[in-house]
Chain A
């Protein structure tokens, strides 16, 4: 990419019990990870309304992560992650129709024990989004409004 100073902005929607706990442990354990991911905590990945992801892209995010507890049995709320499992593939298809590369959207599962996996995801996904360059969806949306 021509813009070598490009720092991607990534929003992570994490469930309180698994991936948020992993992210917390990764921090407490001083695991190195780029500062590009901003985390929004929800109690369950089943709470993540697809609107939140669209809103994040609309506000200027270059990438979005959705992560919860491993299916089948890890969910603190029995089966909230199953709902995520149903919703996210549909959302992914929708994003592609909107012209957003599906590499900008990651959804998956990281348990509370997998702090290292979280740190690795942050490193890999940041580089993946960096390679894609800025999304500029916000600017496009604003220019259409004008």
Chain B
């Protein structure tokens, strides 16, 4: 361990740390422009200059490059240090007079006017080389370097020409202190325009998950992309997350695992899918970044989201007026005829959040307010008292005006007039629908689906979590739109049913199964190949077919096929069905009239 002092404070550190790193850890402020913890220090900007006294000699040193040494005395705030930084800021401000960060930092050192004139007042680059170092050493793409020397020195790709070496990762734009680099996407962008998506390649997919473990999106992660792109030649790019993780928890070698389990019951809880509102063009979704879905609004107002929970427009302003349109894609025969159930309440909650966080005017276009749950109606009343404009009538059309404002047109059915409001933001309460791969899950588990595409329960009233396949249960929105309390209740019921099945220790099978009359069996083996469950086996010693009662599901296919009439389908015997047919025609035709009406 090394002991030394910074500004009179005694500090300790292990060998190999720089003075800046120790000062940052101790909370002692030292200004920097070219420093980034993930990148090798370079000493380009020299703003971190401090006074170092060692062996009785005092020198000015850049704290980002000088390693901590035993007995060192560091002073970060002497008149000499101030003067150096003041001179530097004068030079930076002369080079980049219109960069806010430079203006602010210069003002801290008493420089408000550029001391020297410039011909290029729009210059933003301070030649700190952070982008170059990130691209060379972290991303390992080597797409950026310094070109030329002296006053014409500048940053750019080799020969200042377009380069294929750039992978468009955006790391240079993130580290650039002055915002001098902009990525212009020419073709297919790797980062799709997902302003409300994850903010980086490593992110926590569900903030409420326990344990709260982040995942790496390997399609976006620089390390994985470089590895893929170069066929493993650059296998060690970036790794900044691993470098920063104090718990050493990041392992790039982890792979997907397929775990096979033998279970006695399965609960299907595959949830729902948000319907894509571009399918109804009148809502103009995608034509303005300020037309967002309810789910995107949730992301926007989330404290872990891209704005830290502030409700902002795409240009960073606070909205002054917001329209919320209910039933987008629900209760609409052009999309889904059913009611998505959750939207009325979340739309009201979002109206409350907008009022609370921004004070903006909120217009709610609704057809019917379905506040059906416990305390929901009271919440609806509270929202009305908060000054939300409730317009009864479906929002019919959203138009993007030339100035970027959004015009929402609709009908106020209570007043019988057409209304049109101009707002800054439109929130579409989009429908929820069955997962796009629900058909695959359905055929995997032998589930039925209702007309709306959700999985069918065995009985709408009496068996709401069971399915027609024994041992498979449904929980939550995969069975139909439902909100959180209803999902919790439904899931509880599914779990109870599964536990009840497992706890019993034995399985009750249906009595409606096939049975072979061995006296009649002619040993033709027709039934053996027909049985989908391999429940019929041929007993060589007795020369007959025999049904395994535990395997037979009672479909009766073998019964219909048996040429000898030796197989009986219990509870659906030939005699019973033929008697039913006969019974039908005992009723004279004349009596049919009026039946069933």
Contacts and interface: CB of A to CB of B under 8 A. Distances in A.
B535 to A, nearest CB: 11
A59 B582 contact: yes
A6 to B, nearest CB: 9
B560 A113 contact: no
A111 B468 CA distance: 13
A120 interface: no
A124 interface: no
A59 B592 contact: no
Interface string B429-467: 000000000000001001011110000100000000000
A46 B581 contact: no
A42 to B, nearest CB: 6
Contact of A42 (B446, B468, B556, B593): B556
B448 A43 contact: no
B191 to A, nearest CB: 39
B539 interface: no
A17 B512 CA distance: 15
Contact of B532 (A36, A42, A79, A113): A79
B448 A35 contact: no
Contacts of A77: 532-533, 553, 555, 557
B567 to A, nearest CB: 11
Nearest to B450: A113
Interface residues of B, number: 37
A100 interface: no
A52 to B, nearest CB: 6
B129 interface: no
B556 A46 contact: yes
Interface string A37-58: 0101011101111011001100
Given A43-B554, A46-B555, A79-B532, A35 B596 contact: yes
Task: Say whether chain A's binding surface is mostly helix, strand, loop, or mixed.
Answer: loop
Interface string A59-77: 1110000000000011011
Interface string A82-122: 01000100000000000000000000000111111000000
A59 B581 CA distance: 7
A44 B451 CA distance: 21
Contacts, number: 105
A106 B345 CA distance: 48
A35 B512 CA distance: 29
B231 interface: no
Interface in A5-55: 7, 9, 11, 17-18, 21, 35-36, 38, 40, 42-44, 46-49, 51-52, 55
Task: Say whether chain B's binding surface is mostly helix, strand, loop, or mixed.
Answer: loop
Contact of B581 (A11, A74, A78, A83): A11
Interface stretch (B64-72, B403-411, B570-578): B570-578
A41 to B, nearest CB: 8
A5 to B, nearest CB: 9
Contacts of B589: 7, 9
B261 interface: no
A83 B584 contact: no
Interface in A106-146: 111-116, 138
Interface string B59-89: 0000000000000000000000000000000
Please indicate which of the listed interface residues A7, A9, A77 has the most CB atoms of chain B within 10 Å of its own CB.
A77
B597 interface: yes
Contacts of A47: 555-557, 559-560, 569, 572
B584 A46 contact: no
B529 to A, nearest CB: 11
A46 B592 CA distance: 30
Contact of A83 (B533, B557, B580): B557
A106 B451 CA distance: 23
Contact of B578 (A46, A55, A115): A55
A18 B592 CA distance: 27
Contacts of A55: 578, 581
Nearest to A77: B555
A113 B451 CA distance: 5
Contacts of A87: 560
B595 interface: yes
A49 B559 contact: yes
Interface in B537-582: 553-557, 559-561, 569, 572, 574, 577-578, 580-582
Nearest to A69: B448
Contact of B560 (A48, A56, A78, A111): A48
Contact of B572 (A42, A51, A60, A61): A42
B372 interface: no
24 contacts: A9-B585, A11-B581, A21-B448, A35-B592, A38-B584, A40-B577, A43-B554, A43-B555, A43-B556, A43-B569, A43-B572, A46-B530, A46-B555, A47-B555, A47-B559, A56-B581, A61-B585, A74-B443, A76-B469, A77-B553, A77-B555, A77-B557, A79-B532, A87-B560
Closest 9 CB pairs of A and B: A47-B556, A35-B596, A46-B557, A77-B555, A78-B532, A44-B555, A73-B443, A49-B560, A59-B585
Given A59-B582, A79-B532, A83-B560, 7 more contacts: A7-B592, A9-B592, A43-B555, A46-B557, A49-B560, A52-B578, A83-B561
